[in-house]
Amino acid sequence: MRGGPARGVPAPLLVPALTAIAFLVLPLAGLLIRAPWRSLGSALASADATQALELSLWTATTATAISLVIGVPLAWLLARTTFPGQRLLRALVTLPLVLPPVVGGVALLLAFGPTGFLGRYLNSWFGLTIPFTPAAVVMAETFVAMPFLIITVEGGLRSADQGFEEAAATLGARRMTVFRRVTVPLVAPSLGAGAVLCWARALGEFGATITFAGSFPGRTETMPIAVYYALETDPDAAIALSLVLLLVSVVVLVSLRDRWLRGGSAARGGSAR
């Protein structure tokens, strides 16, 4: 039994707390109450909704894959090495977490747009135009979502016991072998959690995407953007799409809770200690 005050919760705390619960839960309840359950199937089967769903799924998955390929090495660099300017770099990497996504979209446009300082050369040398293409959707999502993966994996690397990496080195393993055969398996729970967070964030991306990629149905109109436009023309479809996103979020939450619970025991390195 833990100590602490008995059951009584003072009213000045209880009332605001209940208000907070109502504020967070009631809108979601409204979504469920207002949902066109009968026509849900047909609303989702409409061409626009299906297109948006497909586009969102593959762009979010691609953005997560790119984040894994380039973000995990960056997390390793931040966690396992020291170099000048590292703190600044960590701050820059974390910036997209707090930056308004629309600002990220503007920044991407200024860099990769037809007149941007990079986009100009992509255009004149390779004939590539990125903005307002599915590639732009993936880039916008990666820009906004990758930091979630990086900070989760970096945290996992920091809390992982480096003794295992030392042991691997004494057994003749070079750094890349240590990374592949020891480090990655040990931080697998963080990798999983980071990837799920990253994917969920990419799936919900709106501001940077609409700024940098626009909203062309079938090409760059992702689910959140489709919801936004459908609200004016076809509210039932908007609600149906919102329900899908809500369901995905709940699944992500449950899967993360599970991972974090298992991750906690795995990260402590078994019981051979």
Partner 1 sequence: MTGLSVDAEVSRGSFTLRVAFTAPPGQVLGVLGPNGAGKSTLLHALAGLTPVGRGRIELAGQVIDDAGTGTFVEAAGRPVGFVFQDYRLFPHLTVAQNVAFGPRARGAGRHQARATAGHWLDRLGLAGLADRKPGQLSAGQAQRVALGRALAGEPALLLLDEPLSALDAGTRLDVQAELRRHLSDFPGPCLLVTHDPLEALVLADRLLVLEDGRIVQEGPPAQVARQPATQYVARLVGLNLWPDVPGLDVPGLDLRGDVLVAVRPAAIAVSSERPAGTDCGLVWPAKVTGLTLLAERVRLSLDGQPPALADVTPEAVADLSLSPGRQVWLAVRGSDLEIYPRPPGHQ
Exactly one of 62, 177, 215, 255 binds partner 1 (CB under 8 A); which one? 177
> Are residues 149 and 198 in contact, defined by beta-carbon separation less than 8 angstroms?
yes
- Residue 273 is a binding residue for partner 1 (CB under 8 A): yes
The CA-atom distances, in angstroms, between 189 and each of 88, 103, 166, 185, 245 are: 27, 32, 21, 8, 24
Q: Name the minimum Å distance from CB 70 to partner 1.
A: 24
- Residue 266 is a binding residue for partner 1 (CB under 8 A): yes
- Rounded CA gap, 158 and 164, in Å? 13
Q: Name the minimum Å distance from CB 219 to partner 1.
A: 43
Over the window 143 to 172, marking each residue x when it contacts partner 1 by CB under 8 A and - when it does not, the resulting string is ------------------x-xx-xxxxxxx
> Are residues 178 and 143 in contact, defined by beta-carbon separation less than 8 angstroms?
no
Q: Name the minimum Å distance from CB 267 to partner 1.
A: 10
> Are residues 97 and 147 in contact, defined by beta-carbon separation less than 8 angstroms?
yes
Q: Name the minimum Å distance from CB 171 to partner 1.
A: 4
Instruction: Give Rg (Cα) of the chain.
Output: 22
Residue 207 or 263: the one with the smaller Cβ distance to partner 1 is: 263
Q: Name the minimum Å distance from CB 260 to partner 1.
A: 18
Residue 113 or 194: the one with the smaller Cβ distance to partner 1 is: 194
Any residues with CB less than 8 A from the CB of 242 and at least 6 apart, and which? Answer: 31, 227
- Residue 188 is a binding residue for partner 1 (CB under 8 A): yes
The CA-atom distances, in angstroms, between 92 and each of 35, 88, 101, 161 are: 41, 6, 15, 27
> Which of the ranges 14-22, 69-77, 138-146, 265-273 carries the binding residues for partner 1, by CB under 8 A?
265-273
Tokens 């990798």 belong to 191
Size of the site for partner 1 (CB under 8 A): 25
Site residues (vs partner 1, CB under 8 A): 161, 163-164, 166-175, 177, 181-182, 185-186, 188, 266, 269-273
